[in-house]
Amino acid sequence: MHTAAYIMRGPLLLRIWDERDPRTQELISQRQYINNYEQNRTIYLDGRPHPPEYAAHTWQGFSTGQWDGNVFTVYTTHIKQGWHRRNGLPSSDRITLVEHFIRHGEQMTHVSIVTDPDYLSEPLIKSQELVLSPTAGLETRGTNLLSNWLYPCEYVEEAPGQDRTRVQSYMPGANPFLDEFAKDSKIPREAALGGPETMYPEYQRKLTGR
């Protein structure tokens, strides 16, 4: 499963609609369905507060949103522990997510800003583009269009032949893969694990002592 902070980076189909009070027709929330892993998001627009810190965390978290002109901004908390990148960097259950949805005709820009006090030294900013599908909502049962929106998934044993009571892990200092990226990339360990300082060209001069 992917969290709200990650899932928009993958291949997906996104459906968006409003949810209104059936009696007053007042806008309660915006709903989003993401076909990848069949995720459902509710973004509240009725002014309700976020729950207390001890409330349950979910894959998509608790979201509130507001409009600023043509920009829809969403603030999400209570997201479960997951990944910033599936090939390495984990994310904690204390992350906060700010998203901006900006529509330009038949295209929409999605910008996400993730703050993680446990695993990130500074906010992680990502963006992607989505394109409106002119056939959305026209699917009928028995057609390929409908099946494209579904995500049939079956549970499998991901580590076959292992004792179900055993959790695969390494003790502190015993992880044999800690230096794998540095060795494969032929760079010093401190350059691979040194944090945001290593992202900038000036760090090359530090490595060479200049």
Same domain, 85 and 182: no
In a domain, 25, yes or no: yes
What is the number of structural domains in the chain?
Answer: 2
Q: How far apart are CA 94 and CA 52, in angstroms?
A: 12
Out of 149, 184, 201, pick the residue that ends a domain. 149
In a domain, 126, yes or no: yes
pLDDT of residue 6: 93
pTM greater than 0.95: no
pLDDT of residue 4: 94
Beta carbons of 119 and 94 less than 8 angstroms apart: no
In a domain, 87, yes or no: yes
pLDDT tens sequence across 144-193: 555 566 776 777 777 778 887 887 789 988 989 888 989 998 988 888 88
Same domain, 188 and 117: no
Residues spanned by the domain of 114: 4-149
Beta carbons of 190 and 178 less than 8 angstroms apart: no
In a domain, 166, yes or no: no
CA-wise closest residue to 169 among 156, 182, 184, 159: 159
Same domain, 187 and 145: no
CA-wise closest residue to 106 among 127, 67, 136: 136
Same domain, 102 and 179: no
Residues 6+ apart with CB under 8 A from 208: none
pLDDT band at residue 137 under the 50/70/90 scheme: low
In a domain, 119, yes or no: yes
In a domain, 157, yes or no: no
pLDDT tens sequence across 1-11: 789 999 998 78
pLDDT tens sequence across 81-136: 999 987 778 999 999 999 999 999 999 999 999 999 999 999 999 999 999 987 66
Token reading at 189: 């360990």
